[in-house]
Structure formats: C-alpha cells, structure tokens
Structure 1
Amino acid sequence: MFRPLLIATMLALPAVAVAQSAPVADAAESGSPPQRVRAVTLNAGEKCPQSTGNEIVVCSTLEQPYRIPKQFRDSGPIPAKNQAWGNRAATMDQVGRVAGGLPDTCSPVGSGGQSGCALATNRAWAAERRAQQDANASVP
C-alpha cells in the first residue's frame, strides 16, 4: 500500500533538489550578510535607488516616514487584555482611588474627592486641545 507512495517520493526528490539549486543573488550565494544598509528619504516624484552588491537600500517618503502602513498605526486605545500587567494594575489603582473618593480624584464620594475636579477639567481641556491641533495639522 505504501510502496507506490514511496516510489513516487523517490522519483520526485531529484526534481526538488534541482529546483532548490536555482541561481539566486550574489550575497545569498556567498552566505555573507550585506556590508551596508542605507536608509533613503525620498521627496515627491523621486524613485528609490537600486541596491548594488552587498548593500540593502530602504526607502521612505516624507509623507510616510514610517515602515508601518498608516492604516495600522494609531488604531485607538489598546484593549486591556493586550496591555502590560503594569498598565492594568495602574488602571485598577486609579479606578479604586476614584471609587474610594481619595484626594485628587474628583469623586462625589469621600472626604477629599472634590479636590481633583479642577485637575480633571484641565486634563480634559488639554487633551481636547491636542486633538484639535492634531486634526488641524493632518488637514493639508
């Protein structure tokens, strides 16, 4: 039962070996790493220069200087399950402070909760202003 499969495998092995020994780039054949990695920032209308020999050329444009595509950047707040435990612990600590009405929390419960209302208002105003500046900066 396995004999025909074994024979077919033995006949296919030389074809696979020939396909793997197809010619590749000079650096890959020598097995040596590239000697130089060059990062180039392009202006509008320029094209990326070709790499030569043992050189790698990485191109970026002024509009998108990052390698991560824009649709994958700044996707909003990170879900709690994907955050580090330190961030989760800090969030739980802050929630507990607000629930307990501790000072600087702007909570209606507790003796010192009212002292943080001005601080919370200022932080909200600053965040709103930063968001407006970012929106104005992204509009051409």
Structure 2
Amino acid sequence: MLRVVVGVVAMMSAAGAVAQSQQAETGQPPQRIRNVTVTGQQACPQSTSDEVVVCSRLDEPYRIPKGLRDDRPIAAQNQSWVNRTATMDQTGRVAGGLPDTCSPVGTGGQSGCALQRNQAFAAERRANAQAARTVPGGEQ
C-alpha cells in the first residue's frame, strides 16, 4: 500500500518536473489542469506542455495515506463549543435523572430506557446493512 502511494507521488513529481521544464521553455502557464481518477493498476496519463494531469486512485479517496491518518478521538480542548456543551448537557441529564435518560435516579429516568433500546436496535440494523453492502457477493 505504501509502495503504491510512493509510486503515485513519484510519478506525479516526475510528470510535474517534465511539465515544469516544458513550461519554463515556453514561458506560458499550462492551459488546462485535468483531474483523473484511475482504478486498479491503471497508469496515470502523461502531462503535455499545455496540460497538467493530477491523478487519484478510486480506492484511495484521501490524500493522506491510511497509515498516517490520525484516528484517535479529538481531545476536548480541540473540539467546538457546540460539542462540549452537548456532552456536558447529556452528562447532566443522565446524572440528574431527567426524563428520557434511562437513569435509576429521578422520577422520569425510566422513560428513556425504551428510547435507548430502540436507538441501539436501529444502529445495529444500519451496521448490519452496511456490512452486507461491503461484503463481496452481498446485496447491493
């Protein structure tokens, strides 16, 4: 995977160097910039003197390679105030036993248990449907 990314970057830099040298010879900027999405082992089309070709792989929609992406949760100090407030509100609701919280504390805490079960069931169905779509030979 890393070799593919390095290869694509090397091809892009080599193509960029050729296009840059051709541009330097003519003194004119490229007339066209073309974005190409390639699949599998397709090669990226060559750039010409009046065109720059930028390639991306269909199976790799992100510019940052998967091994270098940061998948850890975002720290609280780096989140927006909306997220912080929502978290504090939910924590306060559960701790206070307010309605729809499924808490053993408070008068309305029990009313949220059915809601939470329904939400968990719906999330499980969405996950199963997503898994069926991604499995080769699964329903499309």
The TM-score range, normalised by the shorter chain, is: 0.5 to 0.7
Name 2:79's counterpart in structure 1: 83
Q: Look up the SS of the partner of 1:67 in the other structure.
A: coil
Q: Paired residues, what number?
A: 117
Name 1:95's counterpart in structure 2: 91
Consecutive unaligned residues of structure 2, counting only runs of 5 or more, are 1-19
1:122 equivalent in alignment to 2:118: yes
Name 2:38's counterpart in structure 1: 42
Higher RCO (CA-CA < 8 Å; seq separation 6+):
2
TM-score, normalisation: structure 2: 0.64
Distance 1:83 1:32 in 2: 45
Q: Which amino acid aligns with 1:105?
A: T
1:59 equivalent in alignment to 2:55: yes
Q: Look up the SS of the partner of 1:40 in the other structure.
A: strand
Moved more, 34-43 or 86-95: 34-43
Cα distance change, pair 78–135 in 1 and its aligned pair in 2 (3 A): farther
Consecutive unaligned residues of structure 1, counting only runs of 5 or more, are 1-23
Q: Look up the SS of the partner of 1:90 in the other structure.
A: helix
Kept in 2, the 8 Å contact 1:41–1:65? The answer is: no
TM-score, normalisation: structure 1: 0.64
